[in-house]
Amino acid sequence: MPDDTDLHALSHQAMLDVPRIRPVLDKIADKWTIMILTVLCPQPARFNEIKRRLDGITHKSLADALKRLERHGLVTRTVIPTTPIGVVYAITPLGHSLRGPFEALCSWALAHERVMADAATAYDRSRT
């Protein structure tokens, strides 16, 4: 685990590289990208299967996100010559390289869900 000096150096470097970092983070840290890539990590899936597993995503939002992920090299789209035609989406090696950071982020979210909810409740109560 990095010590405080290492973390300060990383933070300082990140601040210097914001113009390079921000466009990349904009492409992977939106509302659905992390969840879509998490769904595709174990195995390729068809559009409707992804949509089912991502309760709440609209057809248009999923279609737009998959196009964007394909454009940036994070997923592939393969047309299957069946009747009706099927499409399978799979994660690329580049997309798969995000698995560790995304799993850590998901674990963090689960571990801190209650603390954040309690903080929001306390904040709201203090404002009324």
- The amino acid sitting at 61 is S
Per-residue confidence (pLDDT) for residue 58, from 0 to 100: 95
CATH 3.40.50.150 fits 4-126, yes or no: no
Per-residue confidence (pLDDT) for residue 23, from 0 to 100: 86
Per-residue confidence (pLDDT) for residue 116, from 0 to 100: 96
Mean pLDDT throughout 75-88? Answer: 92
Per-residue confidence (pLDDT) for residue 10, from 0 to 100: 58
Cα 89 to Cα 25: distance, rounded to the nearest angstrom: 22
Per-residue confidence (pLDDT) for residue 6, from 0 to 100: 58
Q: How far is CA 110 from CA 35, 41, 52, 115, in A?
A: 14, 19, 21, 10
Q: Where are the domains of the chain?
A: 4-126
Asked if the model's pLDDT at residue 37 lies above 80, the reply is: yes
Cα 55 to Cα 70: distance, rounded to the nearest angstrom: 21
Mean pLDDT throughout 70-91? Answer: 94
Beta strand spans in the chain (E): 45-46, 75-80, 86-91
Per-residue confidence (pLDDT) for residue 103, from 0 to 100: 86
Per-residue confidence (pLDDT) for residue 21, from 0 to 100: 81
What values do phi and psi take at 31, rounded to 5?
Answer: -60, -40
Q: Select the more confidently predicted residue: 14 or 29.
A: 29
| 44-55 pLDDT, tens digit each | 999 999 999 998
